[in-house]
Structure 1
Amino acid sequence: MKDTPENEKKIEEDENKINNKVSVDSSATVTNGSTAGSTCSDAEVKLTPLERLTHDLNNDPKCTKEITLGKRIGFYRIRGELGSGNFSQVKMGIHALTREKVAIKILDKTKLDQKTQRLLSREIANMDKLHHPNIIRLYEVVETLAKLHMVMEYACGGEVFTKISNEGKLSEAESKLLFSQVIAAVEHMHEQNIIHRDLKAENLFYASPVLVKVGDFGFSTISRPDQTLSTFCGSPPYAAPELFKDESYFGSYVDIWALGIMLYFMVTGIMPFRAETVAKLKKCILDGSYTIPSYISDSCQFLIRSMLKHIPHDRFTITEIKRSEWLRDQNFPQAFEPYNLNPTPQNQSKELSKEESEARQVLKDLGITEQHLLNSNSQESRSSITGSYRIVLHRIQKKHSGVVEGMMEQPRDLHIYDNKKNSKKLAQHSKLCTIL
């Protein structure tokens, strides 16, 4: 389902109906734990938003039907599909308490082998560690008997790959703006010893015309700078030469190579290494045979060649990329202040940051009490209360840092978070890993 004006209007009408019903429910009174709708002459209180939602989830036939049909999970109403893969779908969701739009990656647990389950557990753990304005944030994991739902930040503008494929290359000015954000995001990952291993334009998403976010951590892993890896992951056109040599490799250098390919694609609209088969593509990459169009500035050409060095240790480091002439005077967004993944109850926590204190007040207004926080504290990301906390805190952090999102028309191709269904045949025939 596309986000057309008609669909948006229909969604608003549906939400208004629910809000009208909620307003009726909120006039009901509860006393000493009695159920909504009861009457009592003692002290009467209106239901909080959380209590109204809980009441509806337990008693409203419409909510029950939506849950049965898979149109509602936890605190989220599920809307149209954003993308799909071999074992997963990605759908838009709306958080019932905060009205935040999210992306929900839905995986069929019955189709996941042990290797895929390990990758999934690693993806969740790695995303939990990242808190940067240019990285998609994980809010919550909701699990049922048959499915697992990863609730993530939603970037409304679609893939950078889709825009370039449809509209052509970006200007160098726009490329500088976006690429500096990607560099800042990758620097944050590497500082946490997280290697992405699937950096590409298909995994870079517009949150606004001037803001992009790196997503899809399905192949990410933990690796210190002095450690080598042996699992070959990613998309062949972005694969570094060492990945084709059946030898161990240093993860950070593989990410740097992919960044070089990404920059080339941004400023030219084509890939530096192109071939009809993986075998021919492998030869091109190992031979290092590519050319850069003459209309690309000398400083940009120099940066691309400095990242696409065949010998991994010869490639520019993140620091050298940031100091390059082409990126001179560019802004590299800083990470958000580290935050508690779980909303520790006030009486058990150290001094809260300004953002955390503000988030607690919002939670309180929604009816989420200290007891709710205490009960959810041991469940990490697998708690609706924790998910609500992370959504509220992230919204506040973005507001305080001046991050502005939205204001983009929805692209025709909405396969943005997991675009493997429409991947090129070249990638489908790769001997490298394929993503979920």
Structure 2
Amino acid sequence: MATKIRTKNPESRLIVEAMKPYQIDKIDKILEKLSLSNPIERTVSRNQILSSKPLIPMPLPTVQASSNSPQGHSVLEALLAKHTRRFRPPDPPRLQNRPKTVSSLKSKKDILIQSNDIQDKTDKLNDEILTEPIPHSVTISCKKDPIIVGKYEIGDEIGKGAYGTVKIGVNTANNEKVAIKIYEKAGLLNPTRKKNVEREIKILNKLNHPNIIRVINTIETSSAINIVLEYISGCSLSDYLKSRSSRRIEEYQAKGVFKQILLALEFCHNLGITHRDIKLENILLDHEHTVKIIDFGFATYIANDKKVQLFCGTSCYMAPEIVTNKESLGPPTDIWAAGVVLYVLITGTFPFKAPQTKELYSKIQRGMYVIPPTMSSQAREVIKGVFEIDPHKRPTATQLLAYQWMNNGMDKTSSLKSRNLAGISPLFNKTFC
């Protein structure tokens, strides 16, 4: 805080108080010179004066003073400049300049000439760059080296499962697109998982049907097992229904899709193969309205008359014998799941649903579902058949294909895509396999 001092001779008291910490002698002459000036009003910061430490070899703290008297100001500066020499640390010794020889001057000259030449070349190069035409847009991309597996170049990821990923691939020989299902060996350390992958490959190699995805090759590397499959451009039934405001399709369209599913299941069941995970997400519809069943990761290859105890699949598609965790036959579980798909296609909702899994399983065991009044009587017979609680009484795929609804209005001479699936437009912005 600034303090104002009003005395008869303010200069004397100011100088004495400022110089006292530094023990400066012979102040009489300074005071005598300061007394020649007229008494004036000065403002001094006492905090800076009192915070000064005397007798320490360090630079003198700055003393702020304001004065209207040029004479007093110059005397104070002269006094401070004179006495700060006693406390300032000595200057470091100065080394004499090394004499410059002719050789050193010559080398410096060469360096200077060389640097000038480099600068001239740089300037010339910059001028050439600036004179070149600048494109309207410049795109800089860092392209990674392609990953090659066998004769296939691996591309972007288009799907992902529980144990592996699906990526698009291109045959480098003929540019044919394929889908490659990749199982990393690091994720197959569990013997059960590895056995499941080997079983899936074995089953896919036995399947050759227009409504089942086709396997092309299997390539095993040091780090992964790669299953090369045909490329399907289109969408799953789940995504197709989500794209529609009603979340459903017409009954005659659902009939065409369901028939293709039954044809694929009939082929599998005759070979002793059960899919065990039939659902909307695992049924694709390509650009030619052809149904393709995919993902045989849970499939089993056992005799149709042999019962097994397996708890697998998706909850809302599970048959009663699965949710009760009993030994059961394989094919009837696929028929039940296919019936759920048919019900969703026609009504736009699931037949068995509940907020809790326990309640859902209870409804499935008792066969509690509602048939909407808009469904035709012939379609109701099919729904009642596939939702038979007793798996032994549940119709097979061959028997369902013989139902009246399946053949009523079906022109056997015309293709499914031209008549029975009219009005269905798959989504082509998604790719699955």
TM-score (norm 2): 0.61
What corresponds to 1:126 in structure 2? 203
State whether structure 2 residue 359 is matched by structure 1 residue 301.
no
Q: Bigger radius of gyration, 1 or 2?
A: 2
What corresponds to 1:410 in structure 2? 428
**SS across alignment from 1:65:** coil
Counterpart CA distance in 1 for 2:334 and 2:203 is 16
What corresponds to 2:350 in structure 1? 271
1:194, CA displacement in angstroms?
Answer: 0.6
**Does the 8 A contact of 1:156 with 1:408 survive in 2?**
no
Counterpart CA distance in 2 for 1:197 and 1:281 is 19
State whether structure 2 residue 198 is matched by structure 1 residue 198.
no
**SS across alignment from 1:98:** coil
What corresponds to 1:109 in structure 2? 185
| 1:78-227 matched pairs, under 5 angstroms | 78-112=154-188, 113-167=190-244, 168-227=247-306
**Does the 8 A contact of 1:300 with 1:326 survive in 2?**
yes
1:246, CA displacement in angstroms?
Answer: 2.2
Name the aligned partner's letter for residue 326 of structure 2. Answer: E
What corresponds to 2:113 in structure 1? none
State whether structure 2 residue 143 is matched by structure 1 residue 66.
no
After superposition, the Cα gap between the structure-2 partners of 1:90 and 1:213, relative to the gap in structure 1 and judged at 3 Å, is: same
**Does the 8 A contact of 1:165 with 1:269 survive in 2?**
no
1:263, CA displacement in angstroms?
Answer: 0.7
State whether structure 2 residue 336 is matched by structure 1 residue 257.
yes
Say how many residue pairs are matched: 277
After superposition, the Cα gap between the structure-2 partners of 1:214 and 1:250, relative to the gap in structure 1 and judged at 3 Å, is: same
**Does the 8 A contact of 2:240 with 2:426 survive in 1?**
no
Counterpart CA distance in 2 for 1:319 and 1:154 is 29
Task: Pick which of 311-320 and 132-141 moved more.
Answer: 311-320
Taking only aligned residues, the RMSD between alpha carbons, in angstroms, comes to 2.2
Percent identity of equivalent pairs: 33
Name the aligned partner's letter for residue 307 of structure 1. Answer: V
1:163, CA displacement in angstroms?
Answer: 0.6
What corresponds to 1:322 in structure 2? 401
**Deviating 4+ runs (over 6 angstroms):** none
**SS across alignment from 1:179:** helix
Counterpart CA distance in 2 for 1:332 and 1:307 is 24
What corresponds to 1:375 in structure 2? none
Counterpart CA distance in 1 for 2:159 and 2:285 is 15
**Does the 8 A contact of 1:309 with 1:315 survive in 2?**
yes
TM-score (norm 1): 0.60
Counterpart CA distance in 2 for 1:214 and 1:283 is 29
Name the aligned partner's letter for residue 110 of structure 1. Answer: A
Unaligned runs of 5+ in 1: 1-61, 334-406, 418-436
1:276, CA displacement in angstroms?
Answer: 1.9
If each structure's helix is expressed as a fraction of its own residues, which one has the higher value? 1
1:64, CA displacement in angstroms?
Answer: 10
**Does the 8 A contact of 1:198 with 1:234 survive in 2?**
yes
Counterpart CA distance in 1 for 2:411 and 2:266 is 14
